[in-house]
Amino acid sequence: MAARAAKKAGQVGVLAMTAAGMLLAGSALSQPFPSYNTYGSPGLIDMPTAEMAPDATVALTYGHIAGSNRGSLAFQMTPWLTGTFRYTGIENFDDPSSVDGVYFDRSFDIRMQLLRETRLRPAIAVGLQDFIGTGIYSGEYLVATKTLPKGVKITGGLGWGRLGSYDPIASMGTRPATVLGRGGIPTYDRWFRGDIAPFAGISWAPNDRLTFELEYSSDQYDQETRKSDFEHDSPFNLGMQYRFNNDTQLSLYYAYGNTFGVQLSYPFNPKTLGVPGGAETAGLPVKARAPGSARDLGWTASLEGTEASVKQRLTASLDRDKLDLVGFDLSATRATVQLRNPTYGAPAQAIGRTARAMTRLMPASVEEFVIIPTENGLPMSAVTLQRSDLEALENDAAVEMLARTAITDAYGRGALPDLEEFPRFTWKLLPYYDYATFDPEAPLRIDLGASLSASWELRPNVVLSGAIKKKVFGNLDTITRESESKLPRVRTDYKEYATEGDPAISRLTLDVYGRPGPDLYSRMTVGYLERMYAGLSGEVLWKPVGSRFALGAELNYIRRRSFDGMLGLEENVTVDPVSGIEREIPDVNGHVSGYYAFGNGFHGQVDVGRYLAGDYGATFTLEREFANGWRLGAFATFTDVSEEDFGEGSFDKGIMLTVPFSIGTAKPSRGSDTFTIRSVQRDGGARLNVSSRLYEQVRTWHEPEVANTWGRFWR
Amino acid sequence: MIPRLPRLAAILGLSTTLAGCSNDPYFDFPIDSFYNSLLKRGGEPSQVSQQEIVETLSKSDLPVTFLGVADRESQTLLIGIEQNGPYDTYANANRQAITMRNGMITGTRGLSGDLMSTDEAALLSLVRARRSGQATYIQRFLTPEDVTEVLTYRCGVEPDKPVDVAMGLVQGKATEVVAACESADGPPFVDYYVVGGDGEILASRQWLGENLGYVAMHQLRR
């Protein structure tokens, strides 16, 4: 079946920059990266080990062995939990779902460390391989690995399923072979059932560069032997690995007694990748007041005149730090600044630079600085700092200043005079890319082109914005696969949009933002909301400034857009190209969303409501976020659509990877790009894509997030 | 399919786009910054000439300091721009800055891999007094994750031989002081300080963390 995953537009830069970030990678890790096996998990050749990568490690692997091409992404979610996503193409595979003889498969692994290695005890881990879906690689294992002197590591384990197929020594019940639902469901009925076989291995690293591996594999490769020209002549596999300076591993294998294989693995760590502290220029130093000068209020006789001149100088000073002063208010002892930050990914850095500029320009009697960051004209929080603290703590640990900083709700405090000329018009011309993955006829399709976007701010909180894109190269329009859907085709008509829409208006909306009350934020959006839908979208968010929890609600009224990507609208009715059945897309959808920042880098979100196709249900999202902007996460949506009606995959799920732009440039940036990998894009559990949702804008300036990046306050 | 000639035009169009354009003055085109960061990685080697020193000293009366980052083959002259209590901040035209307390470097900015702050009081007091002793010394850095990393050192301080100083406009008799520091959090290092009669550090070789390594500092005018 068509296996097309998420598709989204973004800026080409991030690909190049990720590469740059990788070049700049610092290898100052105390714990080295482990070797990755041909399934993309820490291991030997085909067999796993009990090793864990350093916390937060992301590893990309690509290898070819015995007709199997495997690419994978592994993430060390916590120090004791690893997840792997893998995409495989097996050549000359005799299966009904093979395309031109190639069988494509997506699979997920998870492994947990049960015991850490000590001087005497080996590390012990338990793992589920290919534990969701059709399960061609389905197998479970319990494995122990012990590090010995002179670079030797020994591994032994027991395997079930695929890993229990060669010379089993015992059995635990029977292992069902049927696929649950329409695939895509955890195969809990199989786990640790059926034959059990032992496996073992040894690796020897004579130096930091080279590793030699030998394993005894408990996999009999039944499916490959039966369905392709694979031959299993020996359970012993050999491997050799070379590590380059940037930790890239090149592995060569001699496996199954008859074949050679090769793999490239690139592990990196979002915690250690990039220039520590960034390479941007210094901010201004604090200017301490002369002793006793704070008592001089003589200047207040010409308060207005002073206010105007200070405002002008502060605007110029912030401008050098690429910050925008959008409002200013001065009294004898307090200065209030409304700030816009187009530059710094770390909110604390924008606040810190503004505060330091203020110490240089405010009259000496001004003791209290109130900095009110704004997004789309809305005051997001009020950060109150005492000038004497700034003077006293400039050369201390940053936490000292955090302890003396108050972050409060800015509701009702935004009514300062606006400095800027409105309306304000900005435009950008940038390259863009679009992609579609996992179509067996072309596993990756890419479009490259130019995107012209513009934004016209009529008032600070009223924004008319849009983007139009034109393809230059690409093959997204070559998608030919058609799959039947039992639901209104809210997303599966993607092909039509890709082939007919060039150029296309990606988005054209009028957004009105507001603060209806304390802790409340609102948005009303009208226009062409996304590539497939136009309409009206309203959102309200409740988020106390110091809270880890937020609650939001969104209601949308939609009209389907024409395939050509221009201004036309269609009836909310789709016709299935396979069955010819007409189905109606409901006009109204919406969600209630709960957000929670767990505080240890984990962030959760639950959206409950009605989806595009009219199905009701909930989406669960869990992400691990890093202060520098990296995010990795996964989501799953369960709705009242049955597995049969949903089709391939049974329910909507996927993983997300967000890469901050600053990683490759070492310059501060608020930009990032998110890659979403869905196993299959179907019509069930599909949400409207509204680009201006409130939560991310709001939480940036709230206490948990500001405190998280506080190390950059003095940067 | 785009016909051949328009496709060529389109390629040209895309190349223009790759240069990126916008009317937003703050907009940093990502690919530009990417190339800049790649080309200027680690900073270009730069050497300060005797002539530059003379020119800088004659241009103003402000304090001047020489800074050399050995690992990067990079040298620069910094001018005193601000004072906050005992801390003096020096900067150059590229908006790189260091902060010193009595000549001991307590922070850097804009050098990449910056030293964010230190707890130096105990160490500084021994060095200035040119006395033997033990002191706790803390260095703070940002990691690439933007988390503050705190390295706590235990330093043994020993005064060494007397030296004559003649650097720029700073001249006189001084004493070398050696500080050998060890920590469970980071690599050990040995700092050298040249301390004048008034307890001011006139020159030093100071360890500023794994990214900057050892840097050389000479005060050229106080």
Closest CA of chain A from B162, distance in Å:
31
Angle at Cα A17 formed by Cα A16 and Cα A22, nearest 5°?
105
**Cβ of A287 and B18 within 8 Å?**
no
Residue A457 structure tokens: 């701010």
Map A396-422 to HEC letters: CCHHHHHHCCEEECCCCCCCCCECCCC
Residue A180 structure tokens: 């649950």
Cβ neighbourhood burial of A333 (10 Å; 0-12, 13-18, 19+):
middle
**How does residue B8 score in pLDDT terms, banded at 50, 70 and 90?**
low
Q: Is there a cis peptide before residue B6, judged by omega within 30 degrees of 0?
A: no
**Strands A249-255 and A652-660: what pairing?**
unpaired
Tell me how far apart the alpha carbons of residues B14 and B19 are, in angstroms, rounded to a whole number. 9
Cβ neighbourhood burial of B54 (10 Å; 0-12, 13-18, 19+):
exposed
User: A39 CB contacts (<8 Å, ≥6 apart)?
Assistant: A46, A48, A70, A72, A84, A86, A109, A129, A137
Which of B28, B91, B94 minimises the CB distance to A669? B28
Q: Which amino acid is at A145?
A: T
Residue-wise pLDDT for B170-202, tens only, equals: 888 999 999 999 999 999 999 999 999 999 999
For an interface test with B, give the residue of A275, A390, A708, A713 to mutate (most B CBs within 10 A): A275
- What is the reported pLDDT for A78? 95
For an interface test with B, give the residue of A425, A665, A673 to mutate (most B CBs within 10 A): A665
Tell me how far apart the alpha carbons of residues A405 and A389 are, in angstroms, rounded to a whole number. 9
Q: Which residues of chain A have pLDDT under 70?
A: 1-30, 134, 180-181, 414-420
Closest CA of chain A from B18, distance in Å:
6
- What is the reported pLDDT for B35? 61
- What is the reported pLDDT for B36? 61
Closest CA of chain A from B20, distance in Å:
5
Map A541-584 to HEC letters: EECCCCCCEEEEEEEEEEEEECCCCCCCEECCEEECCCCCCEEE
Tell me how far apart the alpha carbons of residues B64 and A416 are, in angstroms, rounded to a whole number. 43
- What is the reported pLDDT for B42? 47
In angstroms, what is the C-alpha Rg of chain A? 28
- The chain A residue lying nearest B212, using CA atoms, is A276
Q: Which residues of B touch A671 (CB under 8 A)?
A: 30
Tell me how far apart the alpha carbons of residues A29 and A276 are, in angstroms, rounded to a whole number. 13
Three-class SS of residue A584?
Answer: strand
**Strands A368-375 and A334-340: what pairing?**
parallel
Residue A425 structure tokens: 């018009």
- What is the reported pLDDT for A365? 96
* Contact predicate A405/A369, CB 8 Å: no
Residue-wise pLDDT for A489-509, tens only, equals: 999 998 899 889 999 999 999
- The chain A residue lying nearest B12, using CA atoms, is A472
User: A309 CB contacts (<8 Å, ≥6 apart)?
Assistant: none
- The chain A residue lying nearest B143, using CA atoms, is A276
Q: Which residues of B touch A396 (CB under 8 A)?
A: 117
Q: Which residues of A touch B95 (CB under 8 A)?
A: 281-282
Tell me how far apart the alpha carbons of residues A568 and B10 are, in angstroms, rounded to a whole number. 26
Closest CA of chain B from A297, distance in Å:
23
- What is the reported pLDDT for A339? 94
Closest CA of chain A from B64, distance in Å:
17
Tell me how far apart the alpha carbons of residues B134 and B156 are, in angstroms, rounded to a whole number. 5
- What is the reported pLDDT for A1? 36
Residue A224 structure tokens: 């490959």
What secondary structure does DSSP assign to B176-206, as a single string? EEEEEEE-SSS--EEEEEEEETTS-EEEEEE
* Contact predicate B160/B129, CB 8 Å: no
- What is the reported pLDDT for A2? 37
- What is the reported pLDDT for A169? 96
**Cβ of A428 and B83 within 8 Å?**
no
Which of A431, A448, A712 minimises the CB distance to B142? A712
Instruction: Find the largest Cα–Cα distance for chain A.
Output: 95
* CATH number for the segment(s) B50-221: 2.40.360.10
Cβ neighbourhood burial of A567 (10 Å; 0-12, 13-18, 19+):
exposed
- What is the reported pLDDT for B14? 52
Reference B19, options A470, A670, A428; nearest CA is A428
Reference B195, options B221, B145, B161; nearest CA is B161
Which of B26, B147, B211 minimises the CB distance to A627? B147
- What is the reported pLDDT for A22? 40
* Contact predicate A535/A557, CB 8 Å: yes
**Strands B74-84 and B64-69: what pairing?**
antiparallel
Which of A282, A426, A473 minimises the CB distance to B110? A282
Three-class SS of residue A459?
Answer: strand
- What is the reported pLDDT for A158? 97
Angle at Cα A201 formed by Cα A213 and Cα A85, nearest 5°?
80
- What is the reported pLDDT for A441? 81
Tell me how far apart the alpha carbons of residues A574 and A542 are, in angstroms, rounded to a whole number. 36
**Cβ of B96 and A281 within 8 Å?**
yes
Tell me how far apart the alpha carbons of residues A194 and A158 are, in angstroms, rounded to a whole number. 12
H/E stretch holding A433 reads strand A424-439
Strands (E), A291-362: 324-330, 334-340
- What is the reported pLDDT for B19? 56
- What is the reported pLDDT for A412? 86
Tell me how far apart the alpha carbons of residues A552 and A588 are, in angstroms, rounded to a whole number. 17
**Cβ of B34 and A342 within 8 Å?**
no
**Cβ of A449 and B41 within 8 Å?**
no
Tell me how far apart the alpha carbons of residues A187 and A648 are, in angstroms, rounded to a whole number. 15
More confident residue, B13 or A490: A490
- The chain A residue lying nearest B15, using CA atoms, is A431
Tell me how far apart the alpha carbons of residues A486 and B216 are, in angstroms, rounded to a whole number. 72
Tell me how far apart the alpha carbons of residues A674 and A630 are, in angstroms, rounded to a whole number. 10
Tokens 């980052």 sit on residue? B69
- The chain B residue lying nearest A17, using CA atoms, is B34
Reference B31, options B14, B9, B7; nearest CA is B14
Domain ranges of chain B: 4-39, 50-221
Reference A612, options A638, A636, A586; nearest CA is A586
Tell me how far apart the alpha carbons of residues A246 and A26 are, in angstroms, rounded to a whole number. 8
Residue A628: DSSP 8-state: T
- What is the reported pLDDT for A483? 84
Look up the ipTM and state it.
0.90
Q: Which residues of B touch A15 (CB under 8 A)?
A: none
Which of B89, B113, B145 minimises the CB distance to A285? B89
* Contact predicate B103/B204, CB 8 Å: yes
- The chain A residue lying nearest B24, using CA atoms, is A426
Tell me how far apart the alpha carbons of residues B202 and B194 are, in angstroms, rounded to a whole number. 6
Reference B220, options B43, B52, B27, B105; nearest CA is B52
- What is the reported pLDDT for B5? 45
Tell me how far apart the alpha carbons of residues B209 and B205 are, in angstroms, rounded to a whole number. 12
pLDDT, chain B, mean: 87
Reference A66, options A232, A309, A236, A249; nearest CA is A232
Cβ-Cβ pairs closer than 8 A, A with B, add up to 192
Closest CA of chain B from A703, distance in Å:
16
- The chain A residue lying nearest B112, using CA atoms, is A279
Whole-angstrom distance between the N-terminal and C-terminal Cα of chain A? 52
- What is the reported pLDDT for B23? 83
- What is the reported pLDDT for B9? 53
For an interface test with A, give the residue of B94, B142, B149 to mutate (most A CBs within 10 A): B142
Q: Which amino acid is at B150?
A: V
* Contact predicate B2/B13, CB 8 Å: no
Mutual angle of helices A347-361 and A303-320, in 10-degree steps: 140
Residue-wise pLDDT for B36-89, tens only, equals: 655 554 455 688 999 999 999 999 899 999 999 999 889 999 999 999 999 999
Average pLDDT over residues B133-141: 97
Residue A418 structure tokens: 């606006």
Q: Which residues of B touch A13 (CB under 8 A)?
A: 29-31, 34
What domains can you pick out in chain A, each with its CATH number? Answer: 32-268 (2.40.160.40), 293-420 (3.30.300), 433-459+461-701 (no CATH)
H/E stretch holding A343 reads none
Tell me how far apart the alpha carbons of residues A137 and A159 are, in angstroms, rounded to a whole number. 12
Reference A330, options A302, A353, A349; nearest CA is A302
